Structure 1
């Protein structure tokens, strides 16, 4: 499989992505008639931190975005795009959204169309050398699977660490605490699939 090479995350493009993400989160919050305090209580984050994210003044980690998405009752993919087209079948490469997490040196691109209630989301995740989700492991509903298409992936699930290389695949329930990173010296790219839990 041929995967495009990506430039390292620069401050200008990351700042633009932060601002776009912040506007989307604010839109979703207001559409649900939720205050910053409501989202803070639901997510366990501070009001000031959420406000900074909405204004594009702070870059959120994957873990933080999962908590915000849960608080807003949307899939993580719902933070990427404003499209709500149930009929969309194709996501063109040139129009897919990318979120760069500067603090973790990870970027995520949603490569499937954004639907209001998708059964699964497929991402192209790029991790710079030494990049990782960092901190404590996180968990959420659903299931995950993927394949490493470039580089080396270190995946830790419930305290057990697995080192995967190009062509290696994985799957696990998302409610098992997990984290991942790139222990190598080159870029790592992973096709990563998130599916929703039954009944959601």
Structure 2
């Protein structure tokens, strides 16, 4: 199931009574950019999505999944929530339903050939673990680059500037676990 992130951002902003000016001041992004994201004219980067969610005082995850009670859940493949970022060339699949008590966020991230998540990630508290499931991706941590082959794993502090870039011949997919929940 695809999610229109722009519509969700606008809905949350209006529910909280924030103006574009309010969100702009808190996030550091222009009113014009936020409006273009809300109207679906621009796909937000992961970094901009995190900053806008912070400005709205919500977990980014809240923008994708409906709130649920803290009970065991099963998410069927066809029912996973998905979001396109990075100009539509990166797909993030949420592998769990939302609960307030959730401590980890497991994700599948698929990056088209030659595309990347962007290099502006980082500055967040917490940890990230990733396993390369398909294809090859270059993981940049700070300024050091690591090529991940199928089956390779990486573990790092989320505060370290990082990004994934597909350097393979087709789509590349990684399984990531982020803690604490913020996506």
TM-score of the pair, normalised by structure 2: 0.89
Unaligned runs of 5+ in 2: none
Matched with 1:177 is 161
Matched, 1:75 2:42: no
Matched with 1:42 is 26
Matched with 2:85 is 101
Distance in 1 of aligned mates of 2:22 and 2:76: 36
Query: Is residue 88–residue 113 contact of structure 1 (8 Å, CA) maintained in 2?
Result: no
Shift of 1:44: 0.9
More strand by share: 2
Instruction: Return the structure number with greater relative CO, CA threshold 8 A, min gap 6.
Output: 2
Distance in 1 of aligned mates of 2:127 and 2:83: 21
Unaligned runs of 5+ in 1: 1-12
Distance in 2 of aligned mates of 1:32 and 1:128: 35
Instruction: State the SS of the aligned residue for 1:103.
Output: helix
TM-score of the pair, normalised by structure 1: 0.82
Superposition CA RMSD, Å: 2.1
How many pairs are equivalent? 181
Counterparts in 2 of 1:118 and 1:69: CA distance versus 1, 3 Å? farther
